[in-house]
Chain A
Amino acid sequence: GESVGLHLPTLSVQEGDNSIINCAYSNSASDYFIWYKQESGKGPQFIIDIRSNMDKRQGQRVTVLLNKTVKHLSLQIAATQPGDSAVYFCAESPNRDDKIIFGKGTRLHILP
């Protein structure tokens, strides 16, 4: 069935350290994967995406890794800052015109 899950509901990271948020997905036919960040009182905000024909993509301070063999997706945030505190969702879509399915989210806490 369709499901996108995250390994940990909560992650605490020291300010300045790197954060790694993991996600497992079940639909091997998914073509498109996205990471979203949701701050309190706001809707999810796009961070970075990756297509199934890639295994790594980098943005500003963020990197997404895709391992299709084990159906695993991860988001790496470099030099974590207080403003990174939020709930992070991975999401997948089977194809271009299909819906986006979200995982349950990981709350990232930044420790001073």
Chain B
Amino acid sequence: KAGVTQTPRYLIKTRGQQVTLSCSPISGHRSVSWYQQTPGQGLQFLFEYFSETQRNKGNFPGRFSGRQFSNSRSEMNVSTLELGDSALYLCASSTSGASSNYGYTFGSGTRLTVV
């Protein structure tokens, strides 16, 4: 059974640019959540999508957005990149949300560096 796949693994962008990250969940999983991980702030929740609808949202500015497609694949977009957006972006999938069996299954993340 394939795990959660995130692409690309590494990305370098310039301040002011925008970026799109992709996440393919485990087959059959309908919930996809995104997290930002930095050394100083740890894992911070961005948003969660379930059946193509945003169900939960964290406290990030509107520059961070996401969407989910009918096949449950999800993308997140960050516009007008800032140096502080440099982080590991993690995607996690589950069957129905936080309390599904075994909680979330995470991908290996996309390492974004903004220069």
Contacts and interface: CB of A to CB of B under 8 A. Distances in A.
A19 B92 CA distance: 27
Interface in A70-97: 89, 91, 93, 95-97
Interface stretch (B60-68, B69-77, B79-87, B99-107): B99-107
B106 A100 contact: no
A101 B45 contact: yes
Contacts of A95: 98-99
B4 interface: yes
Interface string A41-53: 1111110010000
Contact of B48 (A42, A99, A103): A99
Contacts of A103: 42
B103 A100 contact: yes
For the complex, would chain A's binding face be called helix, strand, loop or mixed by DSSP majority? loop
A34 interface: yes
Contacts of A98: 56, 97-98
A104 interface: yes
B106 A97 contact: no
Contacts of A36: 103, 106
Contacts of B108: 41-43
B97 A97 contact: yes
Contacts of B4: 43
Contacts of A41: 108
Contact of A93 (B44, B58, B99): B99
19 contacts: A31-B99, A32-B98, A32-B99, A36-B103, A41-B108, A43-B108, A44-B92, A44-B106, A46-B102, A89-B43, A91-B103, A96-B98, A98-B97, A99-B56, A100-B45, A102-B42, A102-B43, A104-B42, A105-B42
Given A44-B92, A102-B35, A102-B44, 15 more contacts: A31-B99, A32-B98, A42-B108, A43-B106, A43-B108, A49-B103, A91-B103, A93-B99, A97-B55, A99-B45, A100-B45, A100-B98, A101-B45, A102-B45, A105-B42
Ranked 3 nearest A-B pairs via Cβ:
A43-B106, A93-B98, A102-B43
